[in-house]
Structure 1
Amino acid sequence: MTIIKDQIKNNSNTLLKTMCALVCLFLGSFISYSQNKPKITADIDTTTIRIGEQIKYTILVDADSTAQVIFPEDQTFSPLEMVEALEIDTTKYKDRITLQRAYALTQFDSGAYTIPRQRIDVNGQAFFTDSLRVNVGTVKVDTFAQKMYDIKPLIEVQKPSTFPWLLVSIIVVSLLLVVFLIYWFILRKKPLTEQEKIALLPPYDRALIELKKLENSKYIIQDEYKEYYSELTTIVRSYLEEDVKISALESTTDQLISKLEMLKDAGQLKLDNDTISQFKRVLQTADLVKFAKKKPETSIAEQDRMAIAQIVEKTHEALPEPTEEELLKNEEYLEEQARKKEKKKWIIAIATFVGALLIATGVLVKVYGFKTVKDTALGHPVKELLESDWVQSSYGYPPIHIETPKVLVRQTVDLPEEAKTVIKELQLFTYNSNNTLFAVSVSSSTFANPETDPDFNQVAEQVLQKLEASGAKNITTKQEEFTTFISESKGLKIYGSGKFKTPKSDELVNGEYALICFGGKGFQQQILITYLADDIYAKEIAERIFNSIEVKEDKTE
């Protein structure tokens, strides 16, 4: 009997220990979960304000230090307006982190308002704050203490453009400056310098002027005979090369004299022997000065210069008069040279301008991207829609509040007889681009039976059938829940891609579509958007339209 009691006692102890272990394990898991689960609170500094005053709305998040937290960013506090979102204040303690962010809110109409629940994402999971009530009171005005004035008329405010006008203006001004510099330094006919004027003279006149300048030089005074004779021989050799048409600059003294004698013997140059001998003597003296460093008398240097001047004159007189044909060829040659020079100027000017234009275009492409620059310069119909003045309106009943680039136009819909037994009324509003695949349609319908629930899958099937009937092929379908941005109304988003026909062509192009469905007892609502798959502007428009959607969740006004 004692053995049995001991056994029962042991079993009881074992069971008790097991229960304690399970309880500890459960409590440990619960405590661990409670510690890891983020704590989110929201508070306001006051519940009563006057019109135009601001409320400080604070969101406090206590989470794990590794958590990724996303706070509200846009106007999600409607009907109150967010004035400012302050920086996030972060506090860390061990493995926990506390994030605090404050928002300045206001309202300019009196009444009682509810700040809607705000969504905070922690590691991709959505958490919501509690809604808060705020009373906005009017400001009492003493009409006897101050004057009353008439209401000022409305002032039209131009919508700020997204086009980079400042950068483009700077680039345009820079290009105009480049054009001016091109004109001033390249294309403009500048006044000739003294040297350029001398260079345009005939060889004979130019040689005499250069000999006169040599006479007034200081070479002899400074005993620079080598430079003196070098310039003296260069003047006469250049003249002979240009006027007599012989290679004088590269010839030695003996070679040059031989060439002159050959021309004399051939009757092409009527020079006497004394002139040629005198020329040979001057050249030999110049060779001795330049290569043997001989220093002649000053009087001899002067005589040699005068002798060269006489040689130039006699050579010029000895040359036969040019024929009319030679003069014409020379004139044509000069005109051709002038044309080449002018052409060279224009080539340099155009190349400079094109280079500056390419640099400016490169800067724009670097800052804004090639596609944006191309579409801005050449125009893009959907980009123009994105940058136009958008319209915010309500369509159909129950109403769909939506913002679109253009006003949606009401369409007449003829329902088949069999459909009239199900649908009491169908209202359709559309916008279709004439140039691209971009289109928006909004429809709202009520059922004949007020208790009928909407069938979103059937709606999606009907829409896809209409797309296929219009020529679309290879349509893919995906589904996900859709929540409106402000009121958080729930709906279904059906989207995908396929091959679609554009308005002005039967050719199939890659496109995308998105169908948003809402509904309730006795009614349903749809928003359908189609656009080209690679159209970044259409995707931005679609995203903006989706964020603006608001619907009534019942048929009551």
Structure 2
Amino acid sequence: MKKTGTYGSWDMAYWSRALLFAAFMALPLLLKAQEAPRVQSGVDTASIRIGEQIRWTVAVEVDTTAQVIFPEGQTFSPLETVEAFKTDTTRKMDRMLLQKTYALTQFDSGSYLLPTQRIEIDGRGFFTDSLLISVATVPVDTVNQKMYDIKPMMEVQAGIPGWLKWLLGILAVLLAAAGVAWYFLRKNRLSEQEAEALLPPFERAMRELKRLEQSRYLIQEEYKQYYTELTGIVRAYLEEEVHISALESTTAQLLEKLELLRDAGKLKLDEQTLVQFQKILETADLVKFARSRPELRAAEQDRLQVEQIVQKTREALPEPTEEELLQQEAYRKEWEARKKRKKIRIAAMAAGAVLLVALVASVAYFGVQNVKDSLFGTPSKSLLQGEWIASSYGYPPILLETPEVLVRREVPLPPEALEAISDLDAFAYDNPKAHLSISAISTTFNQADTPPDFEAAVDQALVGMERNGARNIITKQEEFTTVSGVKGVKVFGRGEFKQPGSGNYLKGKYTLLLFGGNGFLQQVFLSWEEGDSYAEEIVERILNTVEVKTVV
């Protein structure tokens, strides 16, 4: 049965071979080489001045078939690595001597501890000794060196006050929102021609006749254009209202259609109205095709008669059917729905502008990442802000305060481990979404006087991480003291951890705490994603609550 962990497959093999196998430090190594590797290290000087370099050399004597991996990168912190020289190899029979030299420096005065370095030989870690390096300041001759007066104060132009920047930012956002709202309103607003096209045929015809009355066609003696528009208005009205093809019909054809409708009882027009309409159409034909020039008064009178014809035609039409009334009602509802949608768009744009101002102000004050995390949340933030649980795990007990309770893990022990281990209690919590893992392990040995081997435990933990795909692991070590004063060892660092189900690697950090005494060992292991500030706070809070009982 497997359980997916933070950086790999947290199955039973992982727990037994990686972190939990660190509890087996009391077991003898069953497989030994014919001659164990030998590792020695040293520096050319333990005292330098600021900016000077020291040469740290490590010599490894191993079999010729052994694979040796030296430290890489900035693993000598607080000293800085200037250069790593090529490895010098000397062979003698079936053994070889490898020498690796590093140039290190420091730019601040003081005493610095050159940390132990891990040399990996055939997958097994060997650690060098730590050294104390003294960095002295460079002496300055303040007597003979020429001194200069302090430069006078310079006036600088005052910057924009913070409140003014906020005000200008909010005004800029409001102006932008107003511009967007104006653009959409103008875009969705109907033009005068579109609004007029939505009017009923009668109202549109009367409005066009009124516009024709105010035109300058008759003043400029443009009779052809005048009568063309006049007959076009009445023909378009008849085609829309009476539903006959009036625009493409000749004068005779149009009159014939009107008479047929009158005889059928569908259009109740009197004879005199038809005669007046016929005279107007014949006059328009003469003007358009025979270049006739009627009198000004007659032309104006023809327009007045056309208005009467339009009004009489409207009155002569039968009452609209139920279907037509339904169509008119549908048109009215569509018009009202369009106006309602327009109001909704305006309100939405106004609300969007307010939200945009609030978002910009929040980002300016709190920062992009905080606003993003507050809006969308993160798994690690939810854990940090949730209700934490304080509990003790294993025997001797390890007291922790964690976001979630740790669950017991059953770990089968190999036969050779049963000879040395009396009991092993393992508890863990994994959150793949937050890339966070927490484990607590308590181990007791059959021999009550067996001291804990911290170095072997660290070595086995690192080997287990590498077996699960971790690479470029950087290790640092320091003393750790709980709130109650119990001292232990803290091993921490970073590396690249393989994500489950893919070949991708995720940059992460880890911390391993080791406590113990004669007959027992206690371990706390934490791993999380590098750069996750909420995970950093979770780990810091857990470390501040760690307590152990050192009496079995």
Q: Which has the higher contact order (CA 8 A, sep 6+)?
A: 2
